[in-house]
């Protein structure tokens, strides 16, 4: 399995988990904590929102780190000939010197 495939799988898994965690949250503050119940639950309402908030930031950080690592690992895969924009002129064959054109008298 190539590094491209490994990073692609890891980034896909982290994106899926990030989508799930974000979709569980309610934009008005209810989300998963409002469906669990009141404060008599073992975790409580505040603990659930703290967990979702921390997991969102953690997954986002992991996603950014994976993207940066994948871009750094792909820069070394180009060979020297693919990365050159301008050809090296030292490898060209030497050109014969040009002789100046002599003035030829015009004929009438």
Q: What is the average pLDDT across 10-30?
A: 86
Whether 32 is covered by a domain: the verdict is: no
Domain membership of residue 15 as a residue range: 1-24+49-73
What is the average pLDDT score of the chain? 74
Average pLDDT score over residue span 77-105: 62
How many domains, in total, are found in the chain?
1
38 inside domain: no
Segment 26-68, tens digit of pLDDT: 766 555 555 555 444 454 556 677 888 899 999 999 999 999 9
Give the pLDDT of residue 65. Answer: 95
**Closest by Cα among 24, 11, 8 to 56:** 24
pTM of the entire predicted model: 0.54
Q: Establish if 94 belongs to a structural domain.
A: no
| Domain presence at residue 16 | yes
Structure tokens at 78: 């180009």
What is d(CA 72, CA 66) in angstroms, rounded to the nearest whole number?
A: 10
Check pLDDT > 70 for residue 93. no
The pLDDT value given to residue 49: 78
What is the helix, strand, coil percentage profile of the chain, to 5? Answer: 60, 0, 40
**Residue 54 resides in a domain:** yes
Give the pLDDT of residue 17: 95
């Amino acid at each position: 399995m190539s590094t491209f495939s490994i990073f692609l799988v890891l980034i896909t898994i982290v994106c899926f988990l990030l989508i799930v965690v974000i979709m569980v949250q309610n934009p008005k503050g209810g989300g998963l904590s409002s469906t669990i119940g009141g404060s008599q639950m073992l975790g409580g309402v505040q603990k659930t929102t703290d967990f979702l908030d921390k997991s969102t930031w953690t997954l986002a950080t992991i996603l950014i780190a994976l993207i940066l690592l994948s871009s750094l690992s792909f820069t070394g895969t180009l060979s020297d000939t693919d990365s050159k924009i301008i050809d090296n002129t030292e490898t060209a064959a030497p050109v014969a010197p040009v002789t100046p054109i002599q003035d030829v008298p015009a004929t009438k």
